[in-house]
A and B are shown apart, each in its own frame.
Chain A
Amino acid sequence: MTEPDDPSPLVSLEGVNKSFGTLHVLKDINLSVARGEVVVVIGPSGGGKSTLCRLVNRLETIDSGTITFDGQELPAEGKALARFRSDVGMVFQSFNLFSHKTILENVTLGPIKVRKIAKAEAEKRGMELLERVGIASQAAKYPAQLSGGQQQRTAIARALAMDPKMILFDEPTSALDPEMVQEVLDVMTGLARDGMTMMVVTHEMGFARRAADRVVFMAGGEIVEEGRPDEFFTDPRTDRARDFLSKILTH
């Protein structure tokens, strides 16, 4: 975890642009995330939310601008980049658990191979984390034997096992059956309460209201509006945000 008293932002994006071919997906993005802050990114599909999330641990490269993490510009490649990524957890829409490894192995691989922690200690910690996300009894199974919700909670435990300074969530509940969404959101809400720095791309407005310190509304590759969740949801300042909210909140 990070020290919330440090006033400098943990992540800061300045003038970031990103295109895929001729498609300009992110336009001059300026955004910073403070230590311990939970930023929820919402907006219509194709608005650049996921790309924004993936930029922060450099799963996508940027065309221009700068991204700094903990005061340092993101390393471009090699060992420095791997070391940086080990400090930033990532939870994917499609879970991406290692299919040929057990649930416990998924959680301990990073600590053992990247952090060089002894296997026994990593397994003890791994079991604690699996306990915390409620799937300790599944530790010996393989990912394909678990439900989507259980897999995603494993993925969160895998991210936590690295003691990250921040966790990125890229639509963590979008691939889940409806009855499994809540169990994952509960784990995430718990993390937010414990002071984890989080950037969450999601369509779950209930989670945004409940857990976010700040809501960022993106559309057309731009940050259209940002603010506290209570203000944003009750009194959005822009037409685009009003329009978006009216479409999703009426039913």
Chain B
Amino acid sequence: MDDLIKYAPDLLAGFLDNVKLSLICGVFALILGTILVSMRVAPTPVLRGAGTLYVNIVRNTPLTLVLAFSSLGLSDTIGLTFSETPSTNSFWLVVLGLSAYTATFVCEALRAGINTVPIGQAEAARAIGLTFLQSLRMIILPQAFRTVVAPLGSVMIAMIKNTTVAIAGGYLMESAFVMRDTFDDTGVSIPIFIGLVIAFMLVTLPVGFVTSRLASRLAVAR
């Protein structure tokens, strides 16, 4: 119990980093995932091909390798730098890697949603003179989003938990790494371990609850 009190501030700061990573990556992943799915259903073969290639490569690469590529490849080798402060720099490299990775799952969830929208919706949109992008934005994607709110919730839960491998991108301040660091000093502490598990569940359980509730509320009646 003493350990818990002594290390709690560090662990809490680490956990807030997990939350911060989750929020930022969540936003980027949703935006990038929407762009990717738009490419994958675009009438232009080049865009479709590029979207498919990206999704298939990134989605099938282990996250730890994506993060390692982000820090070792993009930053150390190519010289992509977000900040002169190493911890800030690695934070944003992790944001880049995790967003790029999660976006592929967002894309595929949305694509499943698009497949549930009847073809007649797109035809009616075209028939009143909407362009491809307009019909995607106003007719297809809003309906697709509503059908995949629950699966997107699962994607977000997975992403929140994935923030604990930020170490692979060189970021050392999130809670799971702080915990292991602590255990190196103090030996394994079960209360700290359970405390961190509960902290994550306090975030992920509501995400699951809210998205399932939203899913039934937003369902499109046909």
Which residues of A line the B interface, CB within 8 A?
57, 59, 77-79, 82-90, 92, 94-100, 109-110, 113-114, 142, 144-145, 155, 158-159, 162
In the bound complex, do residue A96 and residue B130 qualify as a contact, i.e. CB atoms below 8 Å apart? no
Known: A99-B220, A109-B138. A92 touches B130 (CB 8 A): no
Q: Which residue of A lies closest to B129 (CB)?
A: A86
In the bound complex, do residue B221 and residue A99 qualify as a contact, i.e. CB atoms below 8 Å apart? yes
Interface flags for B207-222 (1: CB within 8 Å of A; 0: not) read 0000000000000111
B96 to chain A, nearest CB (A): 33
A61 to chain B, nearest CB (A): 12
* Chain A contacts for B43, CB-based, 8 A: 77
In the bound complex, do residue A59 and residue B128 qualify as a contact, i.e. CB atoms below 8 Å apart? no
Number of A-B contacts (CB under 8 A): 76
B130 to chain A, nearest CB (A): 6
In the bound complex, do residue B126 and residue A89 qualify as a contact, i.e. CB atoms below 8 Å apart? no
* Chain A contacts for B130, CB-based, 8 A: 82, 109-110, 113-114
Bound CA–CA A41/B120 (angstroms): 22
In the bound complex, do residue A57 and residue B127 qualify as a contact, i.e. CB atoms below 8 Å apart? yes
Known: A98-B121, A99-B121. A89 touches B127 (CB 8 A): yes
A142's contact among B134, B138, B139, B221, by CB below 8 Å, is which? B221
**Interface class of chain B by DSSP:** helix
Closest 3 CB pairs of A and B: A86-B129, A144-B221, A110-B128
Q: Which residue of B lies closest to A114 (CB)?
A: B129
Bound CA–CA A6/B200 (angstroms): 72
Identify 7 residue pairs between A and B in the complex whose beta-carbon atoms are under 8 Å apart, listed by A's number.
A59-B126, A82-B134, A92-B123, A98-B125, A99-B222, A100-B146, A159-B127
Bound CA–CA A92/B118 (angstroms): 13
Question: Which of B120, B121, B124, B128 has the most chain A CB within a 10 Å cutoff?
Answer: B128
Bound CA–CA A82/B118 (angstroms): 20
Bound CA–CA A159/B146 (angstroms): 26
**Interface class of chain A by DSSP:** mixed
In the bound complex, do residue B123 and residue A158 qualify as a contact, i.e. CB atoms below 8 Å apart? no
In the bound complex, do residue A114 and residue B128 qualify as a contact, i.e. CB atoms below 8 Å apart? yes
* Chain A contacts for B124, CB-based, 8 A: 90, 92, 96-98, 155, 158
* Chain B contacts for A86, CB-based, 8 A: 128-129
* Chain B contacts for A110, CB-based, 8 A: 128-130
B143 contacts chain A at the CB level, 8 A cutoff: yes
In the bound complex, do residue A82 and residue B127 qualify as a contact, i.e. CB atoms below 8 Å apart? no
Q: Which residue of A lies closest to B117 (CB)?
A: A99
Interface flags for B57-83 (1: CB within 8 Å of A; 0: not) read 000000000000000000000000000
* Chain A contacts for B142, CB-based, 8 A: 100
Contact residues of B between 111 and 164, Cβ < 8 Å to A: 118, 120-121, 123-131, 134, 138-139, 142-143, 146
Known: A99-B143, A99-B222, A144-B222. A113 touches B127 (CB 8 A): no
B131's contact among A82, A87, A94, by CB below 8 Å, is which? A82
Q: Which residue of A lies closest to B146 (CB)?
A: A100
A109's contact among B118, B126, B128, B131, by CB below 8 Å, is which? B128
A92-B120, A114-B134, A144-B221 known, 12 other contacts, Cβ within 8 Å: A85-B129, A86-B129, A89-B128, A92-B124, A96-B121, A99-B143, A100-B146, A113-B134, A113-B138, A155-B124, A158-B128, A159-B127
Question: Which of A59, A98, A158 has the most chain B CB within a 10 Å cutoff?
Answer: A98
* Chain B contacts for A97, CB-based, 8 A: 124
Bound CA–CA A90/B121 (angstroms): 12
* Chain A contacts for B221, CB-based, 8 A: 99, 142, 144-145
Known: A97-B124, A98-B139. A83 touches B220 (CB 8 A): no
